[in-house]
Amino acid sequence: MNRWQKIAWFNLTVIAVSLLLAGAATGTLAIIIGMPGALGGTGFLGFLGLLGLQPVLFRKDKSKVSYDERDVQISRKSVILGFTASYLFFVFACMGCWWYARADGMIDVRILPLIVLGGYIASELVRSISLLAQYGRGRLETPDKVDHK
């Protein structure tokens, strides 16, 4: 498994755990204390901050050539797919909010940062899945590149 695949698996794990914890907490709190207060459960989405640890956890090995042109192509395609997913998320979120609020015509501004966060999650999720799909989901092990020494 090469560095990009490890990063993709790390991203998927962090996103899945964060969404699961936030969903479970919000659902539980909604049953116990009711809806506005239950939104506090979304605080578990703060675990997404762990995604920022990628460069520290998966350092480049200076002694090896860590990627070639094929890796660059795969990475570029994944990034574009991730961006497309986030764009589609924004379209659906904005149109959904507009449709939901069509009766009184006003939207709570607290939703807006959540849309940004949702777009980021969609982007990272699709990027990681696409990366793994292009490398063959780990079945065909992509070895680290040849040592130059």
Near other proteins by CB under 8 A: residue from 24, 107, 136, 141: 107
Which residues does 104 contact at the CB level (< 8 Å), separation at least 6? none
- Tell me how far, at minimum, the Cβ of 101 lies from other proteins, in Å: 4
Tokens 């506005």 sit at which residue? 36
Beta bridge partner(s), residue 147? 64
Q: Which stretch binds other proteins (CB under 8 A): 57-65, 113-121, 126-134, 136-144?
A: 113-121
- Are 50 and 80 in contact by the 8 Å Cβ rule? The answer is no
Residues 6+ apart with CB under 8 A from 141: 1
Q: Select the span of 4-12, 20-28, 54-62, 104-112 touching other proteins (CB under 8 A).
A: 104-112
Which residues form the interface with other proteins (CB under 8 A)?
76-77, 79-80, 83-84, 86-87, 90-91, 94-95, 97-98, 101-102, 105-110, 112-113, 115-116, 119
